[in-house]
Amino acid sequence: MDAAEFRRRGKEMVDFVADYQENIEHRRVYPDVEPGYLRSMIPSEAPLEPESYEDVLRDVDRVIMPGVTHWLSPHFYAYYANSTSFPSILADLLSSGIGTIGFTWAANPACSELETVMLDWLGKMLQLPEDFLSETQGQGGGVIQGTASEATLMALLSARLKTVKCVQESDPQRSEADIISKLIAYTSEEAHSSVEKASIIGGVVIRMVPTDEHFSVRAETLEKMVAEDKATGYIPFFFCATLGTTPCCAFDKIDELGPICNAENIWMHIDAAYAGCAFICPEFRPLLNGVEFADSFSINPNKFLLVGFDCSAMWVKKSADLTRAFQMDPEYLKHEHQGSGLVKDYMHWGIPMARRFRSLKLWFVFRMYGLRGLQAFIRKHVELAKTFENLVRGDNNFEICAEVVMGLVCFRLKGSDELNKALLKQITRTGKIHLVPCTLRGRFVLRFVVCGRTTELRHIQEAWKHITELSSKLLQNLFDHEGKEN
């Protein structure tokens, strides 16, 4: 395929994507395929000779589309969103099209520098303390990680090294392995599974901190656990706070937790993957009060800021904590400005070496929407969630299971877990809308997250109507069944 053919095929693909998004409502949001459906639909080996592009595109419709979960559908209410938008897709096309890779500054100066400035832009939108910005020429700064999981892992690993060094300063005989074996990390029992995964990778023990009645970690609880662990010879070193937990969008009280972490030399990382995006709205910003105590902080613009996956923004107060942990220096990666303090070699800030030009997505989206446009988008989603909450509250068969702060509503049928599981099964089987469950205080709960960029009031109303129709049938069956049994 030469450039001339690419012009033609590329334009067709743009139309394909536009058509897809314009008509996505009419697709079954959750696919109706069985495990292994795909293998039998395509050959078992790559072709020897080139095939025609028409055949490939036909197979996208025939083979791929029937098996896709349509994340961009207004009927998609599962997980947290892939919050993409057309400007983000254009920026991504530009990134693929110019094919430049950033790891050191020299590998692509524009990539390194735009990333630095975009993280400053976003940091200011969030009113982060100056210590987290690069422009102040202090020790802090931002970086794009692929996922929140990687941000958490980097924070934990940096904290691990920092603590080892610190302990060894006062006790040079003590081995790294011995210190690591005594380290304790903490996170909420409601935290995302990636925090526990990070602790396993880091080879350290993690303790799940119980939450209060609002599913928030409180100072007192953490303080007590830390004291107990210290008393038995352990070394508390890392606390991952969550702002906007995955199950029910709860908020740890970072303004009370931060001072404890600071006093105890515990690295505080804040994982605000979803909810953190909303802090660009003044009405939500107070939830971030206490960030000044944090060592690192991250949000996923790809979850709630109209930026397509993958894009997780992370800020640290002392970037050296991150970089010195993993700085390798082979000849083929050296360049003349390295170590000058003037440039950022982002490969030392994360797990992977090579990196896509992802800051373009932020730049395009920030400029095409403006801060006001992004705020309006967030407010609309929160508004729609409140509407759904009110619908639920208006129906005596249902209950709301956690405070609705942003775009997530946790609800359930009053009744057994089995009943709610049966309802979700019906919803999934029918495939009109898609949502996933969570567990809150041991109970099975349905999560309804406003995800789609194009979700409107009518979708919310339709979704509720659909849910109540399915639940009515279920309740009727149950009633009939119980009637028969009596």
Ligand X SMILES: Cc1ncc(COP(=O)(O)O)c(C=O)c1O
User: Which 11-70 residues touch a second copy, going by CB under 8 A?
Assistant: 11, 13-18, 20-22, 31, 33, 35-39, 42, 44-51, 53, 55-56, 60, 63-70
Q: Among residues 127, 130, 136, 203, which is the contact residue for a second copy, using CB under 8 A?
A: 203
User: Which 301-340 residues touch a second copy, going by CB under 8 A?
Assistant: 308-310, 325-326, 328-334, 336-337, 340
Between 229 and 271, name the residue whose CB sits nearer to ligand X.
271
Between 255 and 380, name the residue whose CB sits nearer to a second copy.
380
Measured CA angle at 446 (ends 442, 452), to 5 deg: 140
Pick from ligand X, a second copy, none: which does 442 bind, CB < 5 to 8 A by kind? none
Pick from ligand X, a second copy, none: which does 274 bind, CB < 5 to 8 A by kind? ligand X
Structural contact between residues 281 and 254, judged by C-beta atoms closer than 8 angstroms: no
- Binding-residue pattern over the window 76 to 95 for a second copy, x denoting contact by CB under 8 A: ---x--x-xxxxxxx-xxx-
User: Which 182-211 residues touch ligand X, going by CB under 6 A?
Assistant: 192, 194
Q: Look at strands 398-400 and 312-316 and give their pairing.
A: unpaired
Between 182 and 358, name the residue whose CB sits nearer to ligand X.
358
User: Which 5-24 residues touch ligand X, going by CB under 6 A?
Assistant: none
Size of the site for ligand X (CB under 6 A): 19
Q: How far is the CB of 152 from a second copy (least distance, A)?
A: 10
Q: Does 233 bind a second copy (CB under 8 A)?
A: no
Q: How far is the CB of 70 from ligand X (least distance, A)?
A: 18
Structural contact between residues 185 and 205, judged by C-beta atoms closer than 8 angstroms: yes
Q: Does 234 bind a second copy (CB under 8 A)?
A: no
Between 155 and 260, name the residue whose CB sits nearer to a second copy.
155
Whole-number CA gyration radius for the chain: 25
Q: How far is CA 13 from CA 62, 69, 185, in A?
A: 16, 20, 47
> Which one-letter amino acid corresponds to residue 417?
D
- Is 276 exposed, middle or buried, given 0-12, 13-18 or 19+ CB atoms closer than 10 A? buried
Q: How far is the CB of 157 from a second copy (least distance, A)?
A: 6
User: Which 342-371 residues touch ligand X, going by CB under 6 A?
Assistant: 352-354
Structural contact between residues 413 and 339, judged by C-beta atoms closer than 8 angstroms: no
| Backbone φ/ψ region at 249: left (φ over 0), alpha (ψ -120 to 50), beta | left
Q: Among residues 148, 159, 257, 316, which is the contact residue for ligand X, using CB under 6 A?
A: 148
Q: Does 333 bind ligand X (CB under 6 A)?
A: no
Q: Which residues make up the interface to ligand X (CB under 6 A)?
A: 79-80, 147-149, 192, 194, 242, 244-246, 271, 273-274, 300, 312, 352-354
